[in-house]
Amino acid sequence: MCLTVSNNLKYYRPGKSRYAYLLVWCLAISIVWLFISFSLMNLVITNNVAYLNFLINTLVVRFGTGVLITGCIAMLSWMWYNLQEQQDYEHRRAEALKLARDAELYKLRQQFNPHFIFNSLNSISALSGSAPEKARYMIQQLSDFLRGSIKKEEDVFITLEEELLHLNLYLEIEKVRFGHRLNSIINVHEDTKDCLIPALILQPLVENAIKFGLYGTTNKVEILIKANIENSVLSIQITNPYEEDSSSNIKGTGFGLSATKRRLFLLYGSAAALESVKEENKFMTSLKLPSNK
């Protein structure tokens, strides 16, 4: 009997205004219990009239006790399950908060990659002695790049051309740092330039390409960015050289790709796709989006 009450409350807890439901439920269960026990006693004890009379006389008292017991159990389990639900909720809320904070932090780091910024500043410091003109040029590039990163909000769409201009600033700075061995080729079809894409969606992908291609090796590096439209799907490819050996040196690239995937999913659902392929000494990331203009 108690189990029935408790189980019932596990799956259905009436609102605050419906305590009457709980009362009726307890009363009903007590009546059923009283009826069953009375019938059982009648079956077992058939020839003791005095005891049967006693049973009938104490009907009210026993009914009262039944209601009290079920009532107590009902209250206890009601409180218990409420508490559990509360804890579950708190737990979920904490997790959601943590996720949001992680994403926020990641976004900040993405915009202001400290390694990139301090190394760029160090390059400027070096150039200001020997080649002040170049130092000034680099300050300009770095400022434009930082301004572009701050200005753009996550949900804003910009044309591919604008995105590529921003990426170019970044690549130009890296070329000053690693000029002797970085080369970038941007090869996009004319008709893709006014396609709308989420702002800064390519940035983490190109950063990945630089990380693997440039920071990972000491050879000459060529980063290739291609874009074309086919059957109203805009397809963008970023290719960089890749050395199997050095891959384990570089950490923290997984989140970049998965965060980009997540962002694409939130914006486009299943209409967008991000894939990366490793082949021989090349690493290719390919992004497919609806070609909205």
Partner 1 sequence: MKKIILIDDEPLARLILKEYLSTYPMLEIVAECNDGFEGIKAIVENKPDLIFLDIQMPKISGFEMLELLEQAPAVIFTTAFDEYALKAFDENAIDYLLKPFSKERFDKALKKWLESSAVNNEGFEHLINSVNQLQDKQRVVVKNGTKIRIIPVHEIMFFEAYDDFVKVHTAEGIFLKNKTMTYFEKTLSPLQFTRVHRSFIIKQDEIIKIEPFEKESHVAILRNGARIPISKSGYAKLKESLGI
Residue among 86 and 219 whose Cβ is closer to partner 1: 219
Among 10, 101, 115, 220, interactor with partner 1 by CB under 8 A: 115
Residue among 120 and 260 whose Cβ is closer to partner 1: 120
Q: Mask 171-210, x = binds partner 1 (CB under 8 A)?
A: -----xxxxx------------------------------
Q: Which of 268, 96, 236, 87 is nearest to 163 (CA)?
A: 236
Q: In the complex, what is the shortest distance from the CB of residue 206 to partner 1, in angstroms, rounded to a whole number?
A: 18
Residue among 4 and 217 whose Cβ is closer to partner 1: 217
Q: How big is the CA angle at 224 (ends 221 and 225), to the nearest 5 degrees?
A: 150
List, in order, residues 6 or more apart from 195 with CB less than 8 Å away.
Answer: 159, 160, 229, 234, 289, 291, 292, 293
Among 133, 245, 279, 280, interactor with partner 1 by CB under 8 A: 245
Q: In the complex, what is the shortest distance from the CB of residue 270 to partner 1, in angstroms, rounded to a whole number?
A: 33
Please tell me the distance from the alpha carbon of residue 128 to that of residue 107, in angstroms, as a whole number: 31
- 216 and 243 in contact (C-beta within 8 Å)? yes
- 138 and 127 in contact (C-beta within 8 Å)? yes
Instruction: List the structure tokens of 43.
Output: 């079956």
Q: How big is the CA angle at 289 (ends 283 and 293), to the nearest 5 degrees?
A: 130
Piece of 89-97, 116-124, 153-161, 200-208 that binds partner 1 (CB under 8 A): 116-124
- 248 and 195 in contact (C-beta within 8 Å)? no
Among 37, 42, 140, 218, interactor with partner 1 by CB under 8 A: 218
Piece of 149-157, 185-193, 241-249, 272-280 that binds partner 1 (CB under 8 A): 241-249
Q: In the complex, what is the shortest distance from the CB of residue 242 to partner 1, in angstroms, rounded to a whole number?
A: 12
CA 146 to chain centre: 26
The residues that bridge with 185 in the sheet, in sequence order, are: 224
| Residue 256 found at the interface with partner 1 (CB under 8 A) | no
**Type of residue numbered 117:** I
Q: In the complex, what is the shortest distance from the CB of residue 240 to partner 1, in angstroms, rounded to a whole number?
A: 14
| Residue 89 found at the interface with partner 1 (CB under 8 A) | no
Task: Kindly list the residues in this chain that would bind partner 1 in the complex (CB under 8 A).
Answer: 114-115, 118-119, 121-127, 129-130, 176-180, 215-218, 245-246, 248-249, 251
